[in-house]
Amino acid sequence: MNQLDLKVQDLLRRAAVIDGHSDILIPLTEGKMNIAEKVLIPDLKDWEPPLGLENPAYTKFGFKPHTIYFGCMGQYDIPRWQEGGVNTQLCAIYLDDSKLDAPFKKGMEMAYMFHKAVEENDHLVHCLTAADIRNAKKEGKVGWVLTFEGCEALGGDVRMLDLYYQLGLRAASLTHTRRNIFADGCWAADQQGGLTSAGRRLIERMQELRIVIDLVHIGELGFWEIIEMAQQPLILSHTTPTMFASTLKEEQDIMGGKVPRPRLELPRDKAMLEAIAQNGGVLGMIWILYKSIDAAVKDIETALEVVGPEHIGLGSDLYGQQLSTPGLEDISKLPNLVRALVERGHSDDFIIQFLGENYLRVFEKVWGA
């Protein structure tokens, strides 16, 4: 092992490595994988989809059947978290359009699978506090934090937030891209509204319970309304096309759909980024849809210029081979990203903050030390 590799391993050993978003609970709840095993999936070009595979919620975005079926399988599992040096993974309950007929039941199924996986695997630990995360690091375990990507799993009833909190929910965004009873998501409509009265009650209750509020996928009006209501640091766990879509026409048509390429676009997004920093929050940087690791690092550096080293973290959001960045195909490849940051001259202090200390600062502030 050369000096650079030793440096990378030392940084990963010293840092509380926290990744802000994964959809791993979806394939786990669907019974498609064992979280304890290193899942190997067929290559996209060699795989034939099963008959009748349809998912309009995803196909309209240009996702291929391989991506729809496997999702983030083969990108997150215990062996890969361990290989990547990841200390803590935020695991989201997300319901696609096909699950909205019984959202509370489907959300509870995902919460059940979260707890079942932790109970059955000694290498996992359920983290409820910042101290739990630090202890998981000391013990060499992978901490899991239960989150919401969209609050549809409440079944439209703000009171159910308390129940999910008892089950371990510690961070939540109000929406995914669509509209729900609480707010408009970033692609909800050409004319977007902000928070509904139920959405405002939900934000108030989240703050009373000390649940971290995630700005991901919220429409712009709702973003600013949450900023105004916030009495605690916020996160944006993985960047979204609402805030970080390229204005270049040639980059608007991706995967055969109309998905804007997530990236920072200045000066348009500067006010939003500065608001997150002024709030004391953290921006989670995604790993997907970049042409190279270098391109991903340049986006990190762009964010660094605007918000400073205290307000950037990991937000991998890996979801299929189709969207993967060469060299960052799964969570075990985190050392490649760290290596690139070292090679570009970034300080140890910044890299350790980026890897997890910034998130941990927010968690300690909101959840308590």
Note whether 143 and 98 are within 8 A (CB).
no
CA-nearest of 188, 189, 106 to 148 is 106
Residues with Cβ within 8 Å of 36's Cβ and at least 6 positions away in sequence, in order, are 77, 78, 120, 121, 123
The rounded distance, in Å, linking the Cα atoms of 322 and 86 is 23
pLDDT by residue (tens digit) across 92-141? 999 998 899 999 999 999 999 999 999 999 999 999 999 999 999 999 99
Q: What is the pLDDT of residue 268?
A: 75
Residue 150, strand partner residues: none
Task: Kindly report the number of other CB atoms within 10 A of residue 235's CB atom.
Answer: 30
Residues with Cβ within 8 Å of 250's Cβ and at least 6 positions away in sequence, in order, are none
pLDDT by residue (tens digit) across 151-161? 999 999 999 99
Task: Supply the DSSP string of 301-317, one letter for each residue.
Answer: HHHHHHH-GGGEEE---
Kindly report the pTM of this predicted structure. 0.94
CA-nearest of 72, 172, 82 to 136 is 82
Note whether 156 and 101 are within 8 A (CB).
no
How far from the centroid of its chain's Cα atoms is residue 78's Cα? 17
Alpha helices, DSSP H, located in 124-196: 130-139, 160-166
Domains of the chain, by residue range, sit at 3-367
The structure tokens listed for 48 are 């034939």
Q: What is the pLDDT of residue 313?
A: 97
- What is the domain class of 3-367 according to CATH? alpha beta
Q: What is the pLDDT of residue 64?
A: 85
Q: What is the pLDDT of residue 201?
A: 98
Q: What is the pLDDT of residue 369?
A: 77
Q: What is the pLDDT of residue 267?
A: 77
Q: What is the pLDDT of residue 6?
A: 96
Q: What is the pLDDT of residue 327?
A: 98
Q: Per residue of the chain (369 residues), give pLDDT as tens.
A: 799 999 999 999 999 999 999 999 999 999 999 999 999 999 988 898 887 776 656 666 678 889 989 999 999 999 999 999 999 999 999 999 889 999 999 999 999 999 999 999 999 999 999 999 999 999 999 999 999 999 999 999 999 999 999 999 999 999 998 899 999 988 787 788 999 999 999 999 999 999 999 999 998 899 999 999 999 999 999 985 445 556 666 665 556 555 655 556 777 788 999 999 999 999 999 999 888 999 899 989 989 999 999 999 999 999 999 999 999 999 999 999 999 999 999 999 999 999 999 999 999 999 987
Q: What is the pLDDT of residue 242?
A: 46
SS3 assignment, position 361 = helix
Q: What is the pLDDT of residue 266?
A: 76
The rounded distance, in Å, linking the Cα atoms of 127 and 143 is 6
